């Protein structure tokens, strides 16, 4: 119990920092925000628990992600994660995207994410994986 409490206290401290740094910047000015004129996939990404609601556009050519964009609204974590993951996957092979997981998203975010908010962090990646890969296998 003692160790657990200390760990939580440590996480809490780091959380505070996160809101003041890059996450907040991306929340206010997300990258790849907007609609794509040319795209192969378009879908909605929705988290019923907290109401994160995004529309995503993906343009795939020769099994490569040429471009990605999104619109909509969500919390700071989901918006920042959408920005970062979209930056990361542009130019990637779709099979490499399919192998990405929670750890990869956390590495991009660079902050500890509590279990209650993990869904926000991985929402964008999961939606892309579900919607792009199911059509292209």
Determine contact, residues 15/24, Cβ cutoff 8 Å.
no
Of 57, 74, 94, 122, the one binding another protein (CB under 8 A) is: 74
When asked if residue 6 is in the footprint of another protein (CB under 8 A), the reply is: no
Q: Is the dihedral of CA 24, 46, 87, 104 positive or negative?
A: positive
Cβ atoms of 71 and 35 within 8 Å: the answer is yes
Q: Which stretch binds another protein (CB under 8 A): 51-59, 82-90, 95-103, 128-136?
A: 51-59
Q: Per rule CB under 8 A, is residue 102 in the interface with another protein?
A: no
Q: Is 99 in the site for another protein (CB under 8 A)?
A: no
Q: Is 113 exposed, middle or buried (0-12, 13-18, 19+ CB in 10 A)?
A: buried
* Contact footprint for another protein (CB under 8 A): 12, 15-16, 19-21, 24-25, 48-53, 73-77, 117, 120
């Amino acid at each position: 119990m003692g160790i657990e409490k200390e760990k939580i206290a440590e996480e809490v401290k780091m959380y505070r920092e996160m809101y003041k740094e890059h996450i907040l910047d991306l929340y206010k000015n997300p990258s790849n925000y907007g609609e794509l004129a040319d795209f192969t996939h378009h879908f909605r990404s929705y988290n019923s628990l907290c109401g994160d609601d995004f529309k995503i556009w993906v343009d795939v050519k020769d099994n490569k992600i040429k471009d990605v964009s999104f619109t909509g609204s969500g919390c700071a974590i989901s918006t920042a994660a959408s920005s970062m993951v979209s930056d990361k996957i542009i130019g990637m092979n779709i099979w490499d995207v399919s192998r990405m997981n929670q750890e990869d998203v956390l590495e991009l975010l660079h902050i500890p994410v509590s279990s209650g908010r993990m869904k926000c962090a991985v929402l964008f990646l999961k939606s892309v994986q579900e919607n792009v890969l199911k059509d292209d296998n």
